[in-house]
Amino acid sequence: MPILICGSIAYDNIMVFPGHFRDHILPEQIHILNVSFLVPELRREFGGCAGNMAYNLKMLGSDPLVMATVGTDSLLYFERLERLGINLDCVRQVPETLTAQAFITTDLDDNQITAFHPGAMNHSHETRITRDLGVSLAIVAPDGREGMLQHSRQLAELGVPFMFDPGQGLPMFSGKELLAFIEHASYVAVNDYEAHMLEERTGRKLEDFAPKLKALILTRGAEGSIIYADGKRFDIPCAEAEAVVDPTGCGDAYRAGLLHGIASGFDWQKAGQLASLMGAIKVAARGGQNHAVKLEEIRSLYRRNFGSDL
């Protein structure tokens, strides 16, 4: 059965400023800020949480079904997903809109200035999850606010277990809304920063949620991750990365590994280790979808990192 991925499809426009922002942004003139940066290096990458997760799931041999909204500039993305063999039946093109886009400028100190245009993502609530899709596992990832709320309710009504991954969309929701997401979800995945925000918004400790879920996943960057499940704590180490090039999309790769592990019936240690490995593979390449690794290579890397077969 396919794994339903509800989330964003986006273009990432990544620019490099060969200087330092601090030399151009004067503290005493911040009230009349008007700066311009020459960016001789520009890359346009395929991104968005749903696109990134589907890419990684396909690499693992899973069958991802993407539910997303895109704009009239989506032809290149459609062609890419079709080449990858990813089902587009639930991707809706919204007239007179642009596909969600991030514009990221990085200076030589790795400081970033980012602007994000949600575009067609704001129409994500116009897509609907029905029993006809035949899914038995899903994820609600960062997307339009109303779409995330609606998809969570629809999955709960259908009895489909799903992972709630609020990501950068977490600040859009009140504590009451976040509690409703968690009540509907079977799994919740957050990084350490999002975990603190979740605690602040809901007034509850992260560990309090674990007994009500099949699994609570906390990612901690270079410190690895923790999975609370079955009344136990599973400490997942980081897999060794060939190189540390670009963290963009690492969280999506990790979640794809988790979803594949859940769908395959792996135990939590094994699912977490696969997730960790997918993040390590991704970090060695620029962009969210430029790491191309065959399944046999993934199995070999898993054996090398964790001393057992996948």
Task: Give the Cα separation of 53 and 6 in Å (integer).
Answer: 10
* pLDDT at residue number 68: 98
147-173 pLDDT tens trace: 999 999 999 999 999 999 999 899 999
Confidence grade of residue 37 (pLDDT, cut at 50, 70, 90): confident
pLDDT digits (tens, 9 = 90+) for 46-76: 999 999 999 999 999 999 999 999 999 999 9
* Stretch 179-195: mean pLDDT: 96
d(CA 249, CA 198): 21
What is the fold of 3-10+49-99+121-306? UDP-N-acetylmuramoyl-L-alanine:D-glutamate ligase (3.40.1190)
Per-domain residue ranges for the chain?
3-10+49-99+121-306
Q: Is the pLDDT of residue 285 over 80?
A: yes
Which of 139, 80, 146 has the alpha carbon at shortest distance from 118?
A: 146
Q: What percent of the chain has pLDDT over 90?
A: 85
Name the residue with tokens 């997760």: 53
4 within 8 A of 139, measured Cβ to Cβ: yes
Q: What is the pLDDT, as a whole number, of residue 222?
A: 86
pLDDT score, position 197 = 96
Over the chain, what is the mean pLDDT? 94
What does the CA dihedral 7, 238, 310, 194 come to, rounded to 10 degrees? -30
pLDDT in tens, 96-146: 999 999 898 988 887 888 899 999 999 999 999 999 999 999 999 999 999
pTM comes to: 0.93
The pLDDT value recorded for residue 33 is 79
Strand order in the sheet with 64-70: 91-93, 64-70, 3-6, 137-140, 162-164, 187-191, 215-219, 225-229, 232-236
Structure tokens at 195: 């975990």
The beta-strand segments (E) located in 75-111 are 91-93, 100-106
Q: Packing angle between helix 295-306 and helix 49-60, nearest 10 degrees?
A: 90
- Cβ-Cβ contacts under 8 Å for 176 (sequence gap 6 or more): none
Q: Is the pLDDT of residue 26 over 90?
A: no
Specify the pLDDT at position 29: 73
Compute the distance between CA of residue 293 and CA of residue 98 in angstroms, rounded to an integer: 31
- Measured CA to CA, the distance from residue 112 to residue 105 in angstroms comes to 6
| Sign of torsion over alpha carbons 93, 290, 192, 295 | positive
For the chain, where are the alpha helices, taking DSSP H only?
49-60, 75-84, 145-158, 175-184, 192-202, 206-209, 250-263, 268-283, 295-306
Task: Give the relative orientation of helices 250-263 and 268-283 as an angle to the nearest 10 degrees.
Answer: 150
As a whole number, mean pLDDT of residues 181-190 equals: 97
Question: How many Å apart are CA 284 and CA 23, to the nearest integer?
Answer: 31
